[in-house]
Structure 1
């Protein structure tokens, strides 16, 4: 008799939404970038210390050289954060990621590929009848009834998120739309995760470690103490993140 083979997997691999910081480099000044991140870590060590960061060089006119990029990665690690990947962009970024030994983050890969694709012009012909506008299906909002506990993450893709309980410290809630929290917010809330600047955050009791709308964020240390524990709304106004007490 042959021995029975156990094909049970030792590890289960899943792909899903990952809440991760994206450092978009606008000026390739390694010393300034490192100093800025070190200051962020010092102001909010519980949030940023050893935080995973994706480096996004899409804001530069050209990709950095491998020596500059390596110096930046080393400096950021010394500042207290952990660069774990590059955001997908160009062939040069692809080559740079291989030289640095860092992966390209798939979430950004699809986003860049869509924006880089330019449709070919259609040949001239007689104008076709105008088709009726497509009917857009609106996904219902996601409702989370149970508390979101430390280490958990809830993501509402292409819709709003409503949490009927508490978002605990160390927990994270994300939505491409707005976020409504009917309990205490003690963890992180990120609305407009795909860039929707009209998204908002509403919570009944504000103690958030971090709130963000369309990538613009504030940590608890940056928020007036008068708002702590109060009903609060968060929104963007002219690119600036605003917070105010709800009446």
Structure 2
């Protein structure tokens, strides 16, 4: 009787190559302006009331407008890193400055407008995610101090985002294309960011940002105001600035002459 031998599986040799591919990814560019001390004051005010603004985001620092020397740029990077800003690159400086003490120096960056549509032809087209665009645009407007006026009112989608539950601490809701409606309360430490208006059928204890792309027509409505921060069209108001007579009341907040006005609804 002759035994039949099973063929041996082919031996696979492990690859000795490491694969590299050139890819392009959108990043968030932070642009400090002079005087730098005043810019840091605005940054600290944002981080005091919204410490999660920069969390889990890759940031490029653009110092084109500052004209700093290498030592001063190094100090700027150190101060930002100490504030929890994760810096992945630096632009606006001489490429010959590249060294271990500075982030990688990037060149030939291109701005991506908030309303810019993704390019046709696939997944590699550069575009920011809704959460990145909405959150960072809100910071950029606040740090700019409202100096740059919008040239047009952005279009908003007619379809709102409806959240059927309370928004808990640590949660973030982003809807850059329209209104957000929350059927419940917004806890302290939670964020709501909308391209349009925000309606909260409950208590607001967290941070509410309406008109994330500078839409001055956006409004904020809530049944009980105890917010940590309110922002409309890039202009913000912290808890300390909210009047006592509207705290704990049903209110309507709107932007008027670059100032947030809060009106009682009852």
**CA 1:95–1:50: 2 relative to 1, 3 Å:** farther
Q: 1:26 aligns with which of 16, 26, 33?
A: 33
**CA 1:215–1:73: 2 relative to 1, 3 Å:** farther
**CA 1:236–1:55: 2 relative to 1, 3 Å:** farther
TM superposition outliers: structure 1 runs of 4+ over 4 Å:
35-38, 48-51, 53-58, 60-66, 85-88, 93-96
For 1:159 and 1:112, locate their aligned partners in 2 and report how far apart those are by CA, in whole Å: 14
Q: Does 2:186 correspond to 1:167?
A: yes
What is the TM-score when the length of structure 2 is the normalising length? Answer: 0.58
For 2:60 and 2:244, locate their aligned partners in 1 and report how far apart those are by CA, in whole Å: 32
1:50–1:82 CA contact under 8 A, matched in 2: no
Tell me what 2:169 maps to.
150
What is the TM-score when the length of structure 1 is the normalising length? Answer: 0.62
Cα RMSD of the aligned pairs, angstroms, is 4.1
**Can you list the C-alpha shifts for 1:36-83, whole angstroms capped at 9, x where unaligned?**
545x38xx84x355863867758x7466454333322323455xx322
**Can you list the C-alpha shifts for 1:164-193, whole angstroms capped at 9, x where unaligned?**
111111111111000011100011111111
Offset of residue 216 of structure 1:
1.1
For 1:77 and 1:161, locate their aligned partners in 2 and report how far apart those are by CA, in whole Å: 33
Structure having the higher helix fraction is 1
1:159–1:176 CA contact under 8 A, matched in 2: yes
Count of residues paired in the alignment: 195
1:170–1:187 CA contact under 8 A, matched in 2: yes
For 1:165 and 1:103, locate their aligned partners in 2 and report how far apart those are by CA, in whole Å: 46
Unaligned runs of 5+ in 1: 3-19, 115-135
Unaligned runs of 5+ in 2: 1-7, 10-27, 117-154
**CA 1:71–1:48: 2 relative to 1, 3 Å:** farther
> Superposition pairs for residues 216-231 of structure 1, below 5 Å?
216-231=235-250
Higher relative contact order (Cα pairs below 8 Å, separated by 6+ residues): 2
For 2:179 and 2:231, locate their aligned partners in 1 and report how far apart those are by CA, in whole Å: 14
